Structure 1
């Protein structure tokens, strides 16, 4: 399996990304969107090796993360526009989009705004973008160097507290078959919110990997990869 780390200019920003693929991988391209504070490297594991056998796989560092530029502006609409432009620059007309947490919010926004670009959608441990009560505290940057721009967290927390209603409404515009994967009660996210989202997205199902917590693809990589593969093959994955 070949692997490359490259950069591309997107909306005036340098976006770094990793690619994995076998020589004969001709399936629909897969784009992986990482969680807050991570980068494309976070996806390395069983999922990559299984997907890359049949699909070219792309894992960008979202703006403010990793090797991509840190411009200081991190509105979710801007981040989703980056991903759309990333697809355009690389000539990826229609993709399988997989996002984790923060990355799943970005993926959901893109899939709602541009449904024709997403063939299938996987949302791992995705927060519901509804007003939070009580609101999140907007925390100052901790001392010492950070692997990402702390302003991403501050702006995301503000957007979680008072989200644009269009993001929630846009879930009904998603046309791609969608799989939501929850980590069960050990996750800090309310699992019932994901069930509501699964009902709101027209063609969606929810699978729970019990006791996996928020980092399903890291802490239960085999089960996560199997659920995704079953879903992409048109089956109905089941959690344990």
Structure 2
């Protein structure tokens, strides 16, 4: 198991783990894997060593989740700023950002705020900016023992009522972006997800029909899609 470390974020400690890249990867852009809501960085454990063959890999636990401190308030912009501050703390310059679900939404906002920091972006089952109608659960998820129950109502309220200006923000994002969709088995609407990819100046869409947790249900296909995208990213 990878050893946990933590960094002082001002509001508390953010926990993370890292894997150094293999021989000859010192100059390769690092990858940051951002987990979904109700989870933590361990969701990437089966894939991180494979990605680390070509680069260093970093797995943070978002604020209020996993082993990071449970300190509100929680919002998409707060989590976005945490992610950018995490890059600063680890002195990570241009990175490959990979996010799942809530983590994808946070990664997207980070890329929009600081596109010069993001070499490439992978959005796995990213909630599209349309009203989602997701019911806010009242029970804690089993996937993360240290999960602040205040996280979910806050971020789901934002995802359920997105700002319509999100579409114009997508159209201005210059970062090469892979939108990975889970197909009809996902609880997220797939047509708006495809529209997100079309809206991005350097966007592409890959559908792996396994449902919402593509990286867990089809890890080999997920890695192949990501590495193929990084080997030949689209241009604006």
State TM-score, norm by structure 2: 0.90
Q: Which residue of 1 aligns with 2:45?
A: 44
User: 1:181·1:209 contact (CA, 8 Å) conserved in 2?
Assistant: yes
State the alpha-carbon separation in 2 of the partners of residues 214 and 139 from structure 1.
Answer: 17
Shift in alpha-carbon separation, 1:82–1:116, aligned structure 2, 3 A: same
Which deviates more, 6-15 or 25-34? 6-15
Contact 1:125–1:189 (CA under 8 A) maintained in structure 2: yes
Q: Secondary structure at the match of 1:185?
A: helix
Q: Deviations over 1:102-147 (max 9, x none)?
A: 0000001111111111000000011112234xx3334434599954
- Specify the alignment match of 2:221 in structure 1: 223
Residue pair 2:140, 2:147 contacting (<8 A) in 1 also: no
For residue 200 of structure 1, what is the aligned residue in structure 2?
199
Query: Which range is displaced more, 19-28 or 2-11?
Result: 2-11
Partner of 2:90: 90
Work out whether 1:54 is the aligned partner of 2:54: yes
Go from structure 1 to structure 2 and tell me whether the alpha carbon gap of 1:86 and 1:182 turns closer, same or farther (over 3 Å shift): same
Unmatched 5+ stretches in structure 2: none
TM-score (norm 1): 0.89
CA distance in 1, matches of 2:12, 2:65: 12
Question: Partners of 1:193 and 1:147 in 2: how far apart?
Answer: 32
8 Å contact 1:11–1:85 — kept in the other structure?
Answer: no
Match status 1:102 vs 2:81: no
Consecutive aligned runs of 4 or more in structure 1 exceeding 4 Å deviation:
141-146
**Structure 1 gap ranges (5+):** none
Residue 233 of structure 1 corresponds to which residue in structure 2? 231
Alignment of 1:56-135 (within 5 A): 56-132=56-132, 135=133
